[in-house]
Amino acid sequence: MQSVLFLAFLHATTKQCQHIPCNNQIYIPDTSSPPGHFMTHTEHGNRSQVAAQRLRQMIVAGELAPGQRISEREIGTQLVGHLDGLSRTPLREALKILAAEGLVTIAPNRGATVTALSIDEVEEALDLLVGLEGLAAEATCARIGDAEIAAIEALHEAMHAAYRAEQLMDYFEINQAIHQHIVDAAGNRVLSRIYAAECARIRRYRYAGNHRHERWERAIAEHDQILAVLKERNGTLLRELLRAHHQNGWQVSRRVVAATPASDPATSKSSSRRRAATKTNAPE
Together in a domain, 39 and 15: yes
pLDDT digits (tens, 9 = 90+) for 101-135: 889 999 988 889 999 988 889 889 999 999 999 99
- What's the domain range around 137? 119-279
Point out the domain boundary residue: 114, 144, 160: 114
Element (H, E) at 251: helix 235-258
Residue 284 located in a structural domain: no
Q: Is the distance from CB of 39 to CB of 49 less than 8 angstroms?
A: no
Residue 277 half-sphere exposure, CB side, CA atoms within 13 Å?
Answer: 11
Point out the domain boundary residue: 72, 89, 114: 114
Point out the domain boundary residue: 98, 114, 130: 114
Q: What mean pLDDT value characterizes the chain? A: 77
Higher local confidence (pLDDT), 167 or 1? 167
Question: Is 20 a residue whose pLDDT tops 70?
Answer: no
CA distances from 70 to 24, 104, 105, 108, 240 (A): 23, 9, 10, 14, 40
Higher local confidence (pLDDT), 156 or 264? 156
- Provide the pairing of β-strand 69-70 with 111-114: antiparallel
The runs of H, that is alpha helices, within 79-167 are 88-101, 119-143, 146-164
Phi/psi for 26 (5° steps) reads -115, 130
Mean pLDDT (whole number) for 258-277 = 45
Higher local confidence (pLDDT), 251 or 34? 251
Together in a domain, 155 and 214: yes
Q: Quote the distance between the C-alpha of residue 42 and its chain's center.
A: 22
Beta bridge partners of 21: 26
Question: Is 267 a residue whose pLDDT tops 70?
Answer: no
Together in a domain, 155 and 257: yes
Tally the domains of the chain: 2
Helix (H, G, I), strand (E, B) or coil at 119: helix
Together in a domain, 23 and 90: yes
